[in-house]
């Protein structure tokens, strides 16, 4: 709830600022490329510069760079990754996704879906690939050459999430199974994707303008796992300093700075993981809990703070900020992790955690008795 509250305040307190941008469309050897100036806050200056471009026919290349980039194939699938990505892909709540994934597991179609592990230890890839070779994903299977990419997390209990049998139906569970199967294949047999990133700066009249972009030289694993493949790719030829590019169109637009977007469930789950709130087994439930208790509401794919949620946060914050910020929960979660790793014993961890919560309870009780909350 604290994360939703913070984002709501950022949006509420945001003051939009007006600015102006001059842009031109250039003919780059047959490819149309839009270049834009940096934001101009002064309206009169923007109009003056725009007026000087009306009779300019060419823009001169002032700078051009082309660099190689690589997008690594996915790591093995853990619970947090599955929930964050499927929430983006399907627009479903994490709790709903987890329920469907557990149903697939219960029916024998995928491995156990609650795991923090993203490295392969004992999984028989050949048998999984053989199973997938009899499905519609067969064209991606290569039984003669596969080399899984490993992460570094191992919870010591369950392997990464992977398909165990073919789910042939095309319902919502089928979409979840397909995501898991494609991500598995991208990890085990996929190649890293290769791109070229370009930056272009030009001068037209007295106006400097820039553009940047990218294009694939090898789509690699995106051919198997296309869900997050970049769509805004544009190929342009290599350019040289001083080269003149014909101007096709000149434009002047007024714009306003925008507030940060509202949190999606995928972003909320990522924040929970980043701040060590909950575990892979519990995080899926938290967004649903704040909705069910009326502290927030979900419109479309984004969360909005409710009046009740705001009053609750403000009330608890007035007593002690530790009641609402992630710090306390994160610290207690770390105590439990330290017990699991053998760094401290359970009695000491329990004593330390209870002391924190007892102090906070006393503060709330005192404030209630004093009528401060």
pLDDT digits (tens, 9 = 90+) for 40-61: 999 999 999 999 898 899 999 9
What confidence tens digit (pLDDT) does each residue in 81-140 have?
999 999 999 999 999 999 999 999 999 999 999 999 999 998 999 999 999 999 999 999
Which pLDDT value is given to residue 352?
86
Which pLDDT value is given to residue 210?
97
> Could you tell me the pLDDT band of residue 373, with boundaries at 50, 70 and 90?
low
Domains delineated in the chain: 2-10+261-369 (1.10.460.10), 17-69+196-256 (2.70.20.10), 79-188 (1.10.290.10)
DSSP assignments along 59-70, one per residue: EEEEEEEEEEEE
Can you tell me the distance from the alpha carbon of 162 to that of 182, in angstroms, rounded to the nearest whole number? 9
Which pLDDT value is given to residue 276?
80
Which pLDDT value is given to residue 353?
87
> Could you tell me the pLDDT band of residue 361, with boundaries at 50, 70 and 90?
confident
Can you tell me the distance from the alpha carbon of 95 to that of 147, in angstroms, rounded to the nearest whole number? 33
Sequence-separated (6 or more) residues with CB below 8 Å from residue 345: 339
Which pLDDT value is given to residue 275?
85
Q: Three-state SS for 208?
A: strand
Beta bridge partners of 110: 163
What is the token pair recorded at 227?
């869900």
> Could you tell me the pLDDT band of residue 218, with boundaries at 50, 70 and 90?
very high
Top-confidence residue, 296 or 356: 296
* Residue 363, pLDDT above cutoff 70: yes
Top-confidence residue, 129 or 333: 129
CA atoms within 13 A on the CB side of 287: 31
Contact predicate 22/49, CB 8 Å = yes
User: pTM here?
Assistant: 0.82
* Residue 67, pLDDT above cutoff 70: yes
Q: What is the DSSP letter of 260?
A: P
What is the token pair recorded at 102?
């557990």
């Amino acid at each position: 709830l604290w994360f939703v509250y913070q984002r709501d305040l950022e949006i509420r307190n945001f003051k939009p600022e007006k600015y102006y941008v001059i842009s031109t469309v250039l003919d780059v050897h047959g490819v149309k490329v839009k270049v834009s100036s940096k934001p101009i806050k002064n309206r009169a200056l923007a109009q003056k510069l725009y007026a000087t471009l009306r009779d300019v026919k060419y823009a001169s290349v002032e700078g051009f760079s082309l660099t190689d980039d690589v997008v690594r194939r996915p790591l093995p699938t853990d619970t947090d990754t599955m929930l964050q990505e499927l929430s983006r892909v399907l627009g479903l709540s994490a709790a709903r996704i987890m329920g469907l994934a557990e149903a697939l597991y219960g029916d024998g179609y995928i491995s156990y879906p609650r795991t923090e592990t993203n490295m392969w230890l004992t999984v028989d890839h050949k048998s999984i690939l053989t199973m997938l070779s009899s499905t519609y994903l067969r064209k991606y299977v290569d039984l003669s050459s596969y080399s899984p990419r490993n992460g570094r997390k191992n919870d010591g209990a369950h392997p990464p999430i992977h398909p165990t049998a073919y789910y042939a139906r095309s319902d919502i569970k089928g979409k979840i199974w397909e995501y898991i199967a494609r991500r598995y294949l991208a990890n085990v047999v996929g190649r890293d994707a290769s791109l070229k990133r370009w930056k272009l700066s030009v001068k037209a009249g007295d106006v400097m303008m820039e553009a940047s972009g990218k294009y694939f030289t090898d789509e690699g694993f995106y051919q198997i796992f296309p869900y997050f493949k970049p769509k805004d790719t544009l190929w342009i030829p290599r350019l040289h300093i001083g080269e003149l590019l014909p101007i096709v169109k000149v434009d002047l637009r007024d714009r306003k700075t925008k507030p940060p977007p509202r949190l999606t469930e995928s972003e909320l789950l990522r924040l929970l993981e980043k701040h060590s709130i909950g575990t892979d087994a519990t995080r899926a439930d938290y967004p649903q809990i704040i909705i069910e208790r009326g502290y927030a509401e979900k419109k479309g794919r984004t969360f909005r703070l409710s009046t009740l949620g705001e009053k609750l946060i403000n009330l608890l914050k007035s007593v002690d900020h530790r009641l609402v910020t992630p710090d306390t929960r994160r610290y207690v979660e770390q105590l439990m992790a330290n017990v699991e790793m053998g760094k401290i014993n359970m009695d000491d961890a329990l004593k330390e955690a209870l002391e924190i919560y007892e102090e906070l309870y006393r503060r709330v009780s005192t404030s209630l008795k004093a009528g401060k909350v």
